[in-house]
Structure 1
Amino acid sequence: MNITFLLFPNLTQLDFTGPLQVLSRLPGARVALAAKSLAPVPTDAVLTLNPTHSFDDCPPTDLLCIPGGFGIDDAMRDEETVAFVKREGARANYVTSVCTGAFILGAAGLLAGKKATTHWAYHDELKRVGAEPVKARVVRDGNVFTGGGVTAGIDFAFTLATEIAGEEVAKAIQLGLEYDPAPPFYAGSPDKAETPVFEAMTERYAPRVEAFRVALAKAMKQS
Structure 2
Amino acid sequence: MPDVVIPLYEGFTALDVVGPYQMLALTPGVRVTLAAEGAGAVTDDVGSLALVATAALEDIVQTDVVVMPGGPGTEQALRGPIPLWLKQIHARTTWTTSVCSGSLILGAAGLLDGLEATTHYRVADLLPMFGATYVPERVVEHPEARVITSAGVSSGIDMGLRLVELLTDRLTAEAVQLWTEYDPQPPFDSGSPARARAEVRQRADEYEAAARRTGG
- TM (norm. structure 2) is 0.90
Q: State the 1:141 CA deviation.
A: 1.5
The residue number in structure 2 matching 1:25 is 26
- Counting only pairs closer than 5 Å after superposition, residues 48-197 of structure 1 correspond to structure 2 as 48-58=50-60, 60-78=62-80, 80-142=81-143, 143-197=146-200
Q: State the 1:199 CA deviation.
A: 3.4
Q: State the 1:59 CA deviation.
A: 5.1
Deviations 1:19-74 (A, max 9, x none): 00001122311112111111310112311011111022225110011000011111
The residue number in structure 2 matching 1:216 is none
Deviations 1:184-222 (A, max 9, x none): 11101111211221233346657999xxxxxxxxxxxxx
Q: State the 1:164 CA deviation.
A: 2.1
Q: How many pairs does the alignment contain?
A: 208
Q: State the 1:124 CA deviation.
A: 2.1
| Structure with more of its chain in helix, by fraction | 1
Question: Does the 8 A contact of 2:78 with 2:108 survive in 1?
Answer: yes
Structure 2 segments unaligned to the other structure (5+ residues): none
After superposing on structure 2, the runs of 4+ consecutive aligned residues of structure 1 that deviate more than 4 Å are 202-209
Structure 1 segments unaligned to the other structure (5+ residues): 210-223
Q: 80-89 vs 12-21, which deviates more?
A: 80-89
Give the residue type in structure 1 aligned to 2:180: L
Question: Does the 8 A contact of 1:85 with 1:108 survive in 2?
Answer: yes
Give the residue type in structure 2 aligned to 1:22: M
CA RMSD of aligned residues (A): 1.8
